[in-house]
Amino acid sequence: MKSCLIVDDSKVIRMVAKKILRELSFDTDEAEDGQRALDICKANMPDAVLLDWNMPVMNGIEFLKELRKLPGGDHPVVVFCTTENDIDHIQAAITAGANEYIMKPFDSEILQTKFSQVGLL
Amino acid sequence: MRPDDFDVIAKILKERSGLVITPDKAYLLESRLTPVARKRGLKGLDELLSSLRTAGEDLLREVTEAMTTNESFFFRDIKPFDQFRSIVLPQLLQSRAARKSFRIWSAACSSGQEAYSLAMVLKEEAARLPGWKIEIVGTDISHEMLDKAKAGLYSQFEVQRGLPIQLLVKYFKKNTEMWQIDSSIRAMVQFREFNLLHDLKPLGQFDVVFCRNVLIYFDQPTKSRVLENVSRVMPDDGLLYLGGAETVLGISDRFKPIPEQRGIYGLNRGAAAAKGVGSASAGR
């Protein structure tokens, strides 16, 4: 079973994402900011990260840059999932090492097609 | 809904588009046609249906369009486009090397995502195609869908259904809340109004035909007729793509599955040679 770390400061979004990912047979873990997510990755590197952009303590893009520096940090497939929906943000995410990008609002179909495009399904 | 009203709408749809609607799908009439009724100032579906017997061309056309409009995604099912890039395209580059041109048809193209997905594949492979002339033609019976396809404007939901983010960044611009596909991609595709049940010859010959998730809406004789018509606008080595839930088996002997390439069909040479001789079972 593949693992996915859900990183979002909204409890509701984490719940929705968790439900969809469980249905897609993922083992899920959750973090409410980038720093918590980084700690989890250091202890146990996931196969995938679903990543919000705007969060307290450490935001998504800072987390991603730190993640990619970690040993084994190139392993997780990182899919941004954010309300930021302009080309500049998307471009910055790709440059920082994101594999895919979901613009909120999203539904299970979007999440599923994005995950299958990056080979997670 | 009165049963004879249902029969009337079913007959109209069958004749005009080939769409077969059975009583268990009657709920589709409700969801698709209520907006049409409202737009016309009619009370609801029943009033619309009872007015159909005496309806003019405009309303009949609008009703047919509303019932046949189907969802479309970029790179739907992914695999057919990978096959196109890695198997079909190299074959075409070899077999059409002398004339350096080929034509692709996206049949029942809806809002254009399939045709544009192919255009993006070809654009990405442009380095292998210097001096090649490639035509992509998208056809549909719906005005409304063709207008949308030509504009190349898609909602945030639509651009996230199947389109890899790298291609969104590369080929789309954000236009307030909508995303518009680049004019260089739009220029690669021609969209035309066309009914699959009509004579297809005016469209010319197509080396590759995408007719995916179209036959599923037709009854058996209509499926056979459409496949027969399509076969007549393809060269002997032409290729046909059908949807994942579709097949030619037991429907037409004009086509045969290409071994190991799921969803792709080639012309059955035996049957093609017998064209016009009226062989019903030969070549199966």
pLDDT digits (tens, 9 = 90+) for A66-94: 999 999 999 999 999 999 999 999 999 99
Mean pLDDT across chain A: 96
What is the nearest CA distance from B81 to chain A, expressed in angstroms?
A: 12
Say yes or no to pLDDT of B281 above 70.
no
Most confident among A108-112, B46-50, B100-104, B266-270 (mean pLDDT): B100-104
| pLDDT of res. B102 | 98
**Fold topology of B79-273:** Rossmann fold (3.40.50)
pLDDT digits 0-9 by tens, B124-137: 999 999 999 999 99
User: What is the C-alpha separation between B114 and B116, in angstroms, rounded?
Assistant: 5
What percent of chain A has pLDDT above 70? 100
**Closest chain A CA to residue B158:** A110
Provide the CATH number for the domain around residue A94.
3.40.50.2300
Helical segments of B182-242, H only: 183-186, 220-231
Say what the pTM is.
0.87
CB contact under 8 A, B162 and A113: yes
Q: Can you read off the two tokens belonging to residue B138?
A: 């998208």
Q: Do A116 and B78 touch (CB under 8 A)?
A: yes
- What residues of B are in contact with residue A113 (Cβ under 8 Å)? 73, 160-162
Q: What ranges do the domains of chain B cover?
A: 3-68, 79-273
Residue of B nearest to A92 (CA): B169
Cβ of A103 within 8 Å of Cβ of B160? The answer is: yes
What's the pLDDT tens digit per position in B216-238? Answer: 889 999 999 999 999 999 999 99
Whether pLDDT at A3 is above 60: yes
A43: closest CA of chain B, how far (Å) = 30
Does an H or E element contain A95, and which?
Answer: helix A87-95
Burial of B189 (0-12, 13-18, 19+ CB in 10 A): buried
Range 233-272 of B in CB contact (< 8 A) with A: none
Class of domain B3-68: mainly alpha
Per-residue pLDDT for B274 more than 80?
no
Q: What is the share, in percent, of chain B residues with pLDDT greater than 70? A: 95
Spell out which residues of chain B touch residue A103, defining contact as CB-CB under 8 Å.
156, 160
Instruction: Quote the domain boundaries for residue A55.
Output: 3-117
A92 touching B (Cβ < 8 Å) = no
Residue A64 has pLDDT above 60, yes or no: yes
Asked whether the predicted pLDDT for residue B269 surpasses 90, the reply is no
Tokens of residue B279, six digits:
């062989």
The partner residue sitting opposite B164, judged by closest CB among A86, A98, A117, is: A117
| Band of residue B282 on the pLDDT scale cut at 50, 70, 90 | very low
Number of domains in chain A: 1
Q: What is the rounded CA–CA span in Å between residue B109 and residue B145?
A: 8
Statement: residue B71 has pLDDT above 80: no
What's the pLDDT at B72? 83
**So what's the pLDDT on residue B222?**
94
Query: What is the nearest CA distance from B161 to chain A, expressed in angstroms?
Result: 6
Looking at mean pLDDT, say which of B25-29, B53-57, B225-229 comes out highest: B225-229
Give the total residue count for chain B. 284
Q: Tell me whether residues A87 and B174 touch, CB distance under 8 A.
A: yes
CA distance A19 to A31: 15
Its ipTM equals 0.91
Most confident of the following: B13-22, B38-47, B205-214? B205-214
Q: Would an 8 Å CB–CB cutoff place B160 in contact with chain A?
A: yes
- Chain B, nearest residue to A86 by Cα: B174
Cα distance between residue B51 and residue B191, in whole Å: 32
Task: Write out chain A residues lying below 8 Å of B169, CB-based.
Answer: 87, 90-91, 94
For the CA atoms of A17, A18, A20, A22, the dihedral, rounded to the nearest 10 degrees, stands at: 160
State how far residue A114 is from chain B, nearest Cα, in angstroms: 7
Query: Does residue B79 sit at the A interface (CB-CB below 8 Å)?
Result: no
Q: Give the pLDDT score at B271.
A: 57
pLDDT over threshold 70, residue B280: no
pLDDT, average across residues A47-74: 98
Does the structure show a pLDDT above 60 at B44? Answer: yes
CA distance B46 to chain A (A): 34
Confidence of residue B23 (pLDDT cuts 50, 70, 90): confident
Whole-number average pLDDT of chain B? 91
Mean pLDDT score, A2-13: 97
Indicate yes or no: CB of B160 within 8 angstroms of CB of A87. no
Provide the pLDDT for residue A36. Answer: 98
| CB contacts, 8 Å: B173 with chain A | 87
Measure CA B84 to chain center.
16
Say yes or no for a CB contact (<8 Å) between A117 and B160. Answer: no
Q: Is residue A15 less than 8 Å (CB to CB) from chain B?
A: no
Per-residue confidence (pLDDT) for residue A110, from 0 to 100: 93
CB A103 to CB B164 under 8 A?
no
Cα separation, B18 vs B10, whole angstroms: 10
* pLDDT score of B275: 47
Residue B276 pLDDT: 44
